[in-house]
Structure 1
Amino acid sequence: MQSQEKRPTPDQIPGQKQPYPAKQSKMTPQPDSDLSNYQPANKLKDKVAIITGGDSGIGRAVAIAYALEGAQVTITYNKNDDDAQTTQAEVEKRGGQCLVIKMDVRRPEDCQDTVKQTIEKFGQLNILVNNAAFQMTQEKFEDLSEVQFRQTLETNIFGYFYMVKAALPHLAEGDVIINTGSIVGKIGKGMLIDYATSKGAVHAFTKSLALNLAERHIRVNAVVPGPVWTPNIPATMPIEKVDNYDTDNALSRAAQPEELAPAYVFMAAQDSSFVTGALLDVTGGQLSS
């Protein structure tokens, strides 16, 4: 637990490197994703959510927040068994049920199986959170390979498409889809060309899908994070960029995962009943224009 007034400042985040994908348990300092500062209000009682990339970082925080709000959750992950088991334990400690599925969002059949298992376990699906993502920095454009470019887009936008395809037959009026965008999808990032491209696509996908599903009263929105202290940072960024991470926004620090989770609760709850096609910036004042 970190006091809201004492979030880690950049000088408290040392340079560090982990092989991809990084383990949250090995990060210094530990990301705050336990929702200890969060006050639940039973906003998602009797709802069922799928959260892709739910083993760590933002996904873990969202899973815990949804459990606190009364939802049952399925989390998906691709590599880190230990992180996924920790998330499951944290959700169950707060009274929620948590189905854990190891899968690859780049495979349509995995996405279909995830939805199938969720329906079999919980009997319904109300909230889809597309959050799984891949990023890897490259300082020079010439070093950005076709293999990496494909992996990034296949994970970050095709994966969202496949999950929506699988989930949509089970969503009804009042249900929601929430995508994770990124501020770099609005402003670009020189060493994250493929990632920024994919997140720009997520933003357009969100707005277009919202228009398409409006008649069915299924809302579609995106949360747009700025810099967040998650395992992707030490796994994918040069060590000198991790050191003193991050001072690019008005608050001059990176967010902690639990600071993103309330935005996902808002977008899932009836509080946002008149919000669709929106890109909700949670960036600490890192402006896109």
Structure 2
Amino acid sequence: MENEKEEKLRPGQVQAKPGIENEMQPRPQSDPKPYADGKLAGKTALITGGDSGIGRAVALLFAKEGARVAVAYLNEDEDAVYTQNQITTLGGTCRLIKADLSKEAACQQTVKETVQLFGELDILVNNAGTQWEQSSIEGISTEQLLQTFHTNFFSCFWMSKYAVGYMKKGAAIVNTTSVTAYRGSPHLLDYAATKGAIVAFTRSLAGNLVKKGIRVNAVAPGPVWTPLIVASFDKEKVASFGNDVPMERAGEPNEIAPCYVFLASDDASFMTGQVLHPNGGEIING
């Protein structure tokens, strides 16, 4: 049956090497995709952890590309308002949703509120995250372990669970994982474990939603200069943060954000279940 469908779509044909594209039936689509009003024009995006760091950069770039944006954040009111004001300055629309996404009910309500505000949901970016440095596994309490998983992974799961019911064909989910999911992190054991879970979840959900036309991908940043860094490490580590990657520096949030625009837009229409790696040149098994 599948072969018959393929035959109708692309009739059997043979040419002598190297082949003539103009004689193919149908001809391959080579023209650039038109985005007169931006790559995300007419789309509504919900971004968790969108108040600062990578989330803010993603929110700003989404707005610049034409999306209406809902930013979910925990309690960083000053940062969240600044993000909203920056989007307004760009001529975009941004709504703030203050919520503790480590709780399932808050995830459900955040999705519901976004749809109430904008009438639809086309893009979900699961970016909320936290981490605590510990020198040994003995130092990681069950309370810390659960908090890390609730914030980083469970929120990703719950947000996706409640979002997909509102999403239509062509919608996209983009999850934030990390280079630590691939190479590990001796001092961020629980954090790295959540990021590994997000990779597996991304691949699994992509397969689950592929027939609905909803794409699911992820971004795995390396070291990036964000508030989470100065809130996680001592002064010495902060001063040298990112120096161990081939580019010998930490990335900036606006160097990571284009990955999210790509995966959320029709430019990535043939990608699902994949992970992009803006990490300063570190080669990992992606």
Choose which of 87, 91, 100 in structure 2 pairs with 1:104: 100
Number of the residue aligned with 1:85: 81
Q: Give 1:196's aligned residue.
A: 192
How far the C-alpha of 1:218 sits from its partner, in A, is 0.4
Q: Distance in 2 between matches of 1:275 and 1:264?
A: 13
| Cα shift readout 1:48-74 (whole Å, capped 9, x = no counterpart) | 000000000000000000000000000
- Tell me which structure has the larger Cα radius of gyration: 2
Corresponding position of 2:251: 255
- Whole-angstrom CA distance in 1 between matches of 2:104 and 2:147: 15
Where in structure 1 are there 5+ consecutive unaligned residues? 1-39
Q: Which of the residues 171, 175, 178 maps onto 2:171? A: 175
Pair 271,190 (structure 1): closer, same or farther in 2 beyond 3 Å: same
Residues 29-68 of structure 1 correspond to what in structure 2 (within 5 A)? 42-68=38-64
Cα distance in 2 between the residues matched to 1:244 and 1:187:
19
Decide which of 113, 116, 120 is 1:120's aligned counterpart.
116
8 Å CA contact 1:68, 1:96 repeated in 2:
yes
Superposed displacement of residue 41, structure 1: 6.6
1:260-282 CA distance string (max 9 Å, x none): 01000000100000000001111
Task: Give me the CA root mean square deviation.
Answer: 1.1
Contact between 1:181 and 1:200, CA under 8 Å: does it hold in 2? yes
User: 1:142 offset after TM fit, Å?
Assistant: 1.5
CA offsets 1:180-214 (integer angstroms, 9 cap, x no match): 00000110000000000000000000000001101
Aligned partner of 2:215 among 215, 219, 232: 219
1:274 match: secondary structure? coil
Residue correspondences, number: 250
- In structure 1, give the amino acid aligned to 2:230: P
TM-score of the two chains, using structure 2 as the length reference: 0.86
Letter in 2 for 1:195: Y
Unmatched segments (≥5 aa) in structure 2? 1-35
Aligned ranges 1:146-165 → 2 under 5 Å? 146-165=142-161
Greater RCO, CA 8 A, separation 6+: 1
Structure 1 segments of 4+ aligned residues over 2 angstroms from their partners: none
- Partner of 2:220, secondary structure, is strand
User: For 1:161 and 1:141, how far apart are their aligned partners in 2?
Assistant: 25
Contact 1:248 1:286 in 2 (8 A): no
The C-alpha deviation readout for 1:229-250, integer Å capped at 9, x for no partner, is: 0000010112221112211211
Q: Percent identity?
A: 48
State the TM-score, normalizing by the size of structure 1: 0.85
